[in-house]
Chains A and B, each alone.
Chain A
């Protein structure tokens, strides 16, 4: 049987990808960011999974305003890095896991989560920056990746409750897959940031710290936090953080004695306009 062994949470700031791609990661501005991911890459070397289920949001790349799926699961065999306007990132093609993706889709739809199934889609920085942060710059990504896109562009995104419950349904689906796969689930986006209007540049360290604390220790309680708290306190784009609740919902223990183990926690301001948050949790 397949199992979810760990979850990874990280911001997916496009400038981080640009810094890597342009060879700027050693510059003083970027050094602290990449230093925070060194322990993660070290951990990943001994914990490379068979599949990553990667929760992210598309940034007006694969989905224009013609089609705005709330939850979209990538079931294709491969996904090309997108041209977001600066040209495609020079990163490897993303290989999918169509068999597991289709299995998860069938299972969670039967559990009342009405996913959109996507068999052709390019993937943007929301998906590729986390891969770069965790795997570095290899010639090929070390495992298949199932892209799972969540609408956080047009308000309202799904609620924290819905995301957390979806994570639980994904966990159940993975456990019912009849191959002995080690699966990680990643939640990406955030942390506090606002990219628009006179309030652009908003950072709220207290909110971010509290979010990380509660994500670890009280995710169920955190899932009740309403949208307005995210947009008011963490910025109009800070609402991406609801996606972390999908990954957290898919972990075994939600509190108490079976709570997951914190492998690594990191926070840094700024990366471009954004607070970078990062967490690795392992099921015990």
Chain B
């Protein structure tokens, strides 16, 4: 009998379970390698060559080079590991988190200061909250894109 995974119906959310962890093993371990100044410098000097030393999929490498964190997560990345890439780039956790919403840094920061994202409409896929798939990207980017 299959395991119960009730968290699969939360919008805009990927739970890093054993299945995701297996998919992302090498991607996440690459991120761990960025915890030394020497490896951060090597990565910055030649991203492609550094990534090619890891048995990651081409999709994973492209997602890293594009700094597309949503894609990295879909391919098995976990935010605490991916944060090492952000740290290498000099980004804060807030900049990283915000980048996954489509909002500008300022828009995301303002949302947090105003009390954060509301849970209303964001509990289950199919509601109408701002984290739902049909409302991406968020912020000005979304208003322009859907206009």
Taken residue by residue from 52 to 85, chain A's Cβ proximity to chain B (1 for < 8 Å, 0 otherwise) reads as 0000000111001110000000000000001111
Contacts of B118 in A (CB 8 A): 203
On whether the beta carbons of A85 and B83 are closer than 8 Å, the reply is yes
A-B residue pair count with CB separations less than 8 angstroms: 165
Report the Cα distance A231→B13, complex, angstroms: 9
- Which of A199, A227, A232 contacts B117, CB < 8 Å? A199
Residue from B11, B15, B17, B84 with most neighbouring chain A CB atoms (10 Å): B15
Report the Cα distance A195→B92, complex, angstroms: 11
Given contacts A194-B13, A231-B10, A272-B94, contact A199 B122 (CB under 8 A): yes
Does any Cβ of B come within 8 Å of A137's Cβ?
Answer: no
Contacts of A84 in B (CB 8 A): 35, 83-84, 87
- Which of A61, A65, A200 contacts B101, CB < 8 Å? A200
Contacts of A85 in B (CB 8 A): 34-35, 40, 83-84, 86-88
On whether the beta carbons of B116 and A269 are closer than 8 Å, the reply is yes
Contacts of A83 in B (CB 8 A): 35-37
Does any Cβ of A come within 8 Å of B145's Cβ?
Answer: no
Q: Which residue of A lies closest to B26 (CB)?
A: A65
Contacts of B88 in A (CB 8 A): 85
Q: Which of B71-94 contact A (CB under 8 A)?
A: 73, 78-81, 83-84, 86-88, 92-94
- Which of B6, B15, B24, B93 contacts A273, CB < 8 Å? B93
Does any Cβ of A come within 8 Å of B57's Cβ?
Answer: no
Q: How large is the interface on A (under 10, 10 to 19, 20 to 34, 35 or more residues)?
A: 35 or more
Residue from B80, B115, B122, B133 with most neighbouring chain A CB atoms (10 Å): B80
On whether the beta carbons of A154 and B16 are closer than 8 Å, the reply is yes
Mark A residues whose CB is within 8 Å of B.
Answer: 14-15, 18, 29, 59-61, 64-66, 82-87, 153-156, 192, 194-205, 207, 227-228, 231-233, 235-237, 269-270, 272-273, 275
Does any Cβ of A come within 8 Å of B50's Cβ?
Answer: no
Minimum distance in angstroms from A150 CB to a CB of chain B: 14
A sample of 10 cross-chain residue pairs with beta-carbon separation below 8 angstroms, ordered by A number, consists of A60-B28, A60-B83, A196-B79, A197-B12, A197-B73, A198-B131, A203-B115, A232-B7, A236-B13, A270-B116
Q: Which residue of B lies closest to A226 (CB)?
A: B6
Not counting A84-B84, A201-B112, A231-B10, a sample of 8 additional A-B residue pairs whose C-beta atoms are within 8 angstroms of each other reads A60-B83, A83-B37, A84-B87, A198-B131, A199-B11, A232-B124, A236-B10, A272-B93
